[in-house]
Amino acid sequence: MSPDQPSLFDDPAKENAITTDLVKIEARVWVLHAQLNQANYAYYVLDNPALPDAEYDRLFHELKGIEAQHPKFLSIDSPTQRVGATPLSQFEQVAHEVPMLSLDNAFNELDMEDFDRRVRERLVSSHIIEYACEPKLDGIAVSLLYEDGLLVRGATRGDGSTGENITQNIRTVASIPLKLLGDNHPPILEVRGEVYMPKKSFNSLNAAAREINEKEFVNPRNAAAGSLRQLDSKVAASRRLEFCCYSLGRVEGHEMPAKHNEILDAFSKWGFKTNPESKVVQGVEGCLNYYQNLAGRRNDLSYEIDGIVFKVNEISLQQRLGFVSRAPRWAISHKFPAQEEMTILEGVDFQVGRTGAITPVARLKPVFVGGVTVANATLHNMDEIKRLDVRIGDTVVIHRAGDVIPKLARVIIEKRTESARVIEMLTRCPVCDSHIERIEGEAIARCSGGLVCGAQRKEAIKHFASRKAMDVDGLGDKIVEQLVDEDLINSFVDLYSLDLDAVANLDRMAQKSAQNLLQAIEVSKKTTLAKFLYSLGIREVGVTTAQNLQNHFLSIIPLVKADFETLISVQDVGPIVAQHILNFFSEPHNQEVIDGLLNAGVHWPKVEVKSEDQLPFANKTFVVTGTLNLMGRDEAKGYLQSLGAKVSGSVSAKTHALVAGEKAGSKLKKAQDLDIEILDEEAFISLLAEHGIEHEQ
């Protein structure tokens, strides 16, 4: 600055403003330090992530940007100058002779193009660079040390310079060789890679935790990290972890290949698992094409990945490019769009599914996650709401993977305010105002107004017209949908007053086909009480139960008036089914539909009580086993019981006959040994027909 040039600080107002800004920036730096250090502690030490990855990345890059613009605020203890977090104290400390560095991130094509440009500028080269591409596995980085081909130590990355000795746990991972294959390997070899938990193992682990009411893991990476930090190696062994190598740490007494992909090939020959998706491409365009290809297949992989790692393939070029304080200049991680984000739960709506299931849906402050803006997420059921302890007004983490429906993954309890409101289940259906029922022991609550509920109407009518119900010939799914969409029918009753011209005007219908349909509807009025009961779609009242209800009550009036004790006295009707029946007939809507059907002319012959000696299979025992292709085993059991048979679960000398489907197994062999009559499915259906039961195939 020349002596005549005025100083910036000659103006006291400007000087004060600059000082104030610097104070604010410094304060922000310390806030970011505290947030990032706390997040590291929660993730690496407690195995309980407090922030989604995307939020952590934003805070990290904000701090990195401030330090680049204001170097005076860059300190040796900054989170940007370290790779991981403080190692756990329970394990022996391990010093990494070659530091285990982290990677810089790219979030879009421009970032990748800038990375490629910097590489070529530093190499003073205009040639296209060859890059090795690898999926970035979502696990925990480890170092494996081999001496004379034997595994002597496994360690976590820790803070990059010092990790934890987890050798006993590492030895339980089946994909890690305890002894290298072949004999052409270095005397000293350090291999680095990722220990991760496949999706299938993760899902099984959490399912087991739910069964015993233990806390579930947040994600597979968290599960892998927690498994490797178990003091009891038997726990780690039970977790079905896998290892995939991705780089060389150090080597002594051996000349390694000149390219990264060739080093991985050497690792493979020595017994290490390498990722089959790895590939070598030319230039940044090849990198971007690889990224797009794998991003499209990400959710089909058997393991979680959160991006792609690109490395300059030539080792000599890597050495020329060198490192910055925490990352190599020759590699970068191109991250996928965040699959988790934080937002606010603004409310909860309740939707009614086609089977009457009531599903709570979170209404969110819109947030961009997984490549789309999300405003709604499923909450599944009230048990899930209770498990999450989620309330309206909470700060929540939303997870979205590919085309999977977004879900509310967890609640940030630390951000809960006093105004947060508990979520209450509705007692009446939001569509039809019918009673909402929830059977003890079931997670799902349901609307009981199946016959009149608009949300269930189409499926209810399809069931009503099906062959085992009212058997309306020609009334297929597409015609039902048209009739409902055109507002020609709102319930079963409307089927019996359809207008011929209105039906003929439907898509792909004509006068003749409409006449045939109306004639089939008229024919369906003559039915049986059992078919009528089945057609109503009462929960868990199938063909067999409907038949048992007919045989017990003989008429619909005593059934409608029956109490709980009377219902559970019916053969094969337990407490849950009895409650479903009670709930159904207690709804005025359903009673109106039944009255409407009877007034429209639906009828059935009087049910005659058959004495035991009139039943062809009275005092005879049958056994049903194997897979029946044309009916369910419960249906076969119901047919037999309607004919007076006792159905047993085991074969004995008292067994009259065995109905044997495919893969019948030991029961078939025992029946053969006892010379008991054996019926295949075809013979069984013929037997039923002989006694007046026509099974609809």
Catalytic amino acids? 136
Dihedral over Cα of 629, 635, 641, 642: its sign: negative
Starting at the earlier edge strand, list the strands of the sheet with 677-679. Answer: 646-648, 621-625, 655-660, 677-679
417, 558 in Cβ contact below 8 A? no
Query: Helix/strand/coil (H, E, C) string of 452-494?
Result: CCCCCHHHHHHHHHCCCCCCCCCCCHHHHHHHHHCCCCCCHHH
AA identity, residue 448: S
Contact 130, 120 (CB under 8 A): no
**Angstrom distance (rounded) from CA 613 to CA 499:** 49
Strand-by-strand arrangement of the 305-312 sheet: 105-106, 331-335, 305-312, 130-137, 279-282
The SS3 of residue 214 is coil
Under a CB-based contact definition with an 8 Å cutoff, are residues 226 and 209 in contact? no
As a whole number of Å, the CA-based R_g of the chain is 35
Neighbours of 401 (CB within 10 A): 16
Angle at the Cα of 635 (from 695 to 496), degrees rounded to 5?
60
Q: Which of 178, 171, 173, 169 is nearest to 232 (CA)?
A: 169
Helices (H), 123-198: 167-170
Q: For 124, left (φ over 0), alpha (ψ -120 to 50), or beta?
A: left
Q: Which of 240, 232, 223, 76 is CA-nearest to residue 159?
A: 76
Phi then psi dihedrals of residue 643, to 5 deg: -95, 10
Residues near 225 by beta carbon (within 8 Å), at least 6 away in sequence:
44, 47, 139, 140
Helix (H) or strand (E) holding 539: none
**Cα separation of 433 and 436, whole Å?**
9
Residue 658: enclosing H or E segment and its boundaries? strand 655-660
Phi/psi region, residue 240 (left: phi>0; alpha: psi -120 to 50; beta: rest), is: left
> Would you say the C-alpha torsion 332, 337, 343, 348 has a positive or negative sign?
negative
Which of 296, 174, 308, 311 lies closest to 244 in space, CA to CA? 174
Distance from C-alpha of 677 to C-alpha of 658, rounded to nearest angstrom: 6
If you write DSSP's letter for every residue of 284-301 in order, what string do you get?
A: HHHHHHHHHHHHHHGGGS
Q: Give the integer Cα–Cα distance in Å for 114 and 53.
A: 23
